[in-house]
Amino acid sequence: RKMGMHSSPTGQLFLNDVRVGRDRLLGETEDLPSGGRAGAKDTFSMERTGVAAMALGIIERCLELCVDYAKERVQFGKPIGEFQLIQLKLAKMEVARLNVSNLVFRQIEMAANGTGMDLTEASACKLYSAQAAMEVALEAVQVFGGNGYMSEYQVEQLARDAKVLQIYAGTDEIQVSQIARNLLSA
């Protein structure tokens, strides 16, 4: 059973003794030197920018829940949203939301124009967005205090869901490697 993303079904697919025609092969082989490497890179780019859209959803929901909670939760006789530390956390969440939103809309515009992010830009987009979602989700747990750790509150689920964004479609470390490799090859 998965730690998070329970709304997304996950399974395994096994292919045993399957034969595929040469015209269906992806990647390179000895006798097919330039098979599908470009197509595979395009797929990675689309997958990685898709993670940014998922991150945006997590960030937006965390922010929405935190703003509502900051208005409702009273400590020391006033809503916690009146405390400067909570305001700082909310403001940082909003900055993350705006940044990730801009990345997502940039990808949408590029796709509409018939281009897409190259692999390195998609890796940077995925890396930043996944890290932002994780940071926002953990801050949401903090805003909720002890309640944020309880499964009755959605921020706990969002924190678990955000973590997988740093893992699938290539870990954060893979994204860093891709970005650095591109920078150093220039």
pLDDT at 72 over 90: yes
pLDDT for res 48: 83
pLDDT for res 41: 66
pLDDT digits (tens, 9 = 90+) for 125-155: 999 999 999 999 999 999 999 999 999 999 9
pLDDT for res 15: 86
pLDDT for res 2: 57
- How much is the mean pLDDT over the chain? 90
What is the set of domains in the chain, with CATH numbers?
45-185 (1.20.140.10)
pLDDT at 13 over 70: yes
Closest CA relative to residue 164, chosen from 16, 21, 50: 50
pLDDT at 14 over 80: yes
